Structure 1
Amino acid sequence: MNDNQPNILVVRLSSLGDIVLSSPVYKNLKNKWPNSHITLLVKPQFAQVLAGHPDIDHIMVAKKSLWGNIQQIRAGHFTHFLDLHATLKTILMGFFSHIPNRVRYDKNPIARRLYVKFRKTSPVLEKHTLERYLSALKMWDVPIKYTQPELGDWAYKKASMDGKKIGKIGIFQTSFIGDSVLTTPLIQKTARLFPDSKIVVITRPQTQDIFRPMKEVSQIILNEKTGWNKIVGVWKTAKAIKEAHIDILLVPHRSFRSALIAWLSRVPIRIGFTSSEGWFFYTKTVPFSWMIHDAERNLSLLQGIAKEEFKAEKLSLRYAPSAEENVARLMKDFNLEGKTLVGLHPGSAWPTKCWPKEYFVELISRLETELHVQTVIVGGGKKDADLGEKICQLSQGHCANLCGKTSLADLMALMPHFKLFITNDSGPMHIATAFNVPTLAIFGPTTKELGFFPYGHGHRVLEVKSLECRPCALHGGRKCPLGHFKCMREILPQTAFQNAKEMLVENGVIKA
Structure 2
Amino acid sequence: MNEYGYPLQPDSQRTLRNLFVHTTRNVLLAIIYLLLSGVGAIIQLRRVNKHEPPLQPGTFHPKRILVIRLDLIGDLVMSLTLVRILKRTYPNAEIDLLAIPSSASIVTADPDIATILTTDPNIWRRPKALIQLSNWLALFALIRRMHSRHYDVAVSVFGPWAAIFTLLSGAKRRLGFGQEGYYGFLTDSVAGRHWDRRDHKHEVDYCLELAQAAGATITPEDRIPHLDVDPQAQRDVERLLEQEGVAADALIIACHVSSHNGYAKRWPVPYWATLIDRLIREEHAVVILTGAPNDQPLIEQVLQRTHEHPLNFAGKTSLPQLAALLQRANLMITGDSGPMHIAAAVGTPLIAIHGPTDPALSGPVSPNATVLRNNIWCSPCYKAKGPADCRFHTTQCMKNVTPNQVFVAVQKKLDSVDDASKQETSHEH
Q: Do these two structures clear the TM 0.5 threshold for a shared fold by scoring above it? A: yes
Secondary structure, in 3 states, of the residue corresponding to 1:472? coil
Distance 1:381 1:277, change over 3 A: farther
The 5 A counterparts of 1:428-447 are 428-447=339-358
Distance 1:250 1:263, change over 3 A: same
The 5 A counterparts of 1:454-473 are 454-473=364-383
Secondary structure, in 3 states, of the residue corresponding to 2:322? helix
Aligned partner of 1:298: which letter?
Answer: C
**2 CA distance for matches of 1:164 and 1:455?**
31
Runs of 4+ deviating beyond 4 Å: 155-159, 161-164, 228-231, 233-236
Percent identity, aligned pairs only, is 25
The 5 A counterparts of 1:272-421 are 272-278=176-182, 280-287=184-191, 288=193, 290-306=199-215, 308-309=217-218, 311=220, 312-338=222-248, 339-349=250-260, 350-382=262-294, 384-421=295-332
Distance 1:485 1:477, change over 3 A: same
The 5 A counterparts of 1:73-88 are none
Among residues 20, 25, 34, which one is paired with 1:21 in the alignment? 34
Deviation at 1:454, TM superposition (A): 1.0
The 5 A counterparts of 1:9-408 are 15=28, 17-21=30-34, 50=39, 54=42, 152=44, 160=52, 165-227=61-123, 232=136, 235-254=140-159, 256-278=160-182, 280-287=184-191, 288=193, 290-306=199-215, 308-309=217-218, 311=220, 312-338=222-248, 339-349=250-260, 350-382=262-294, 384-408=295-319
Q: How large is the Cα RMSD of the aligned pairs?
A: 2.9
More helix by share: 2
Deviation at 1:423, TM superposition (A): 0.5
Instruction: Select between 364-373 and 308-317 the one with higher mean Cα deviation.
Output: 308-317
**2 CA distance for matches of 1:161 and 1:235?**
31
**1 CA distance for matches of 2:36 and 2:154?**
24
Secondary structure, in 3 states, of the residue corresponding to 1:183? helix
Aligned partner of 1:152: which letter?
Answer: Q
Instruction: Select between 271-280 and 423-432 the one with higher mean Cα deviation.
Output: 271-280
Ranked by relative contact order (alpha carbons within 8 Å, sequence separation 6 or more), the top structure is 2
**2 CA distance for matches of 1:438 and 1:264?**
41
Contact 2:81 2:225 (C-alpha < 8 Å) held by counterparts:
yes
Contact 1:156 1:281 (C-alpha < 8 Å) held by counterparts:
no
Contact 2:65 2:152 (C-alpha < 8 Å) held by counterparts:
yes
Query: What TM-score does the superposition give when structure 1 sets the normalisation length?
Result: 0.67
Contact 1:209 1:319 (C-alpha < 8 Å) held by counterparts:
no
Partner of 2:15: none
**1 CA distance for matches of 2:64 and 2:51?**
16
Secondary structure, in 3 states, of the residue corresponding to 2:114? strand
**2 CA distance for matches of 1:23 and 1:435?**
40
Contact 2:154 2:169 (C-alpha < 8 Å) held by counterparts:
no
Distance 1:494 1:152, change over 3 A: same
Aligned partner of 1:252: which letter?
Answer: V
Secondary structure, in 3 states, of the residue corresponding to 1:376? strand
Unaligned runs of 5+ in 1: 1-13, 27-49, 55-150
**1 CA distance for matches of 2:276 and 2:341?**
22
Deviation at 1:490, TM superposition (A): 1.1
Partner of 2:363: 453
**1 CA distance for matches of 2:204 and 2:323?**
19
Distance 1:327 1:156, change over 3 A: farther
Deviation at 1:191, TM superposition (A): 0.6
Aligned partner of 2:154: which letter?
Answer: L
**2 CA distance for matches of 1:423 and 1:490?**
15
Contact 1:342 1:375 (C-alpha < 8 Å) held by counterparts:
yes
Distance 1:389 1:173, change over 3 A: same
Distance 1:510 1:211, change over 3 A: closer
**1 CA distance for matches of 2:146 and 2:95?**
12
Deviation at 1:509, TM superposition (A): 7.7
Contact 1:237 1:261 (C-alpha < 8 Å) held by counterparts:
no
Distance 1:314 1:227, change over 3 A: closer
Contact 2:63 2:93 (C-alpha < 8 Å) held by counterparts:
yes
Distance 1:357 1:283, change over 3 A: same
Deviation at 1:404, TM superposition (A): 1.0
Deviation at 1:492, TM superposition (A): 1.2
Considering only CA atoms, is the larger Rg found in Structure 1 or Structure 2?
1
Distance 1:161 1:267, change over 3 A: farther
Contact 2:155 2:166 (C-alpha < 8 Å) held by counterparts:
no
Secondary structure, in 3 states, of the residue corresponding to 1:15? helix
Instruction: Select between 455-464 and 299-308 the one with higher mean Cα deviation.
Output: 299-308
Instruction: Select between 292-301 and 363-372 the one with higher mean Cα deviation.
Output: 292-301
**2 CA distance for matches of 1:359 and 1:285?**
46
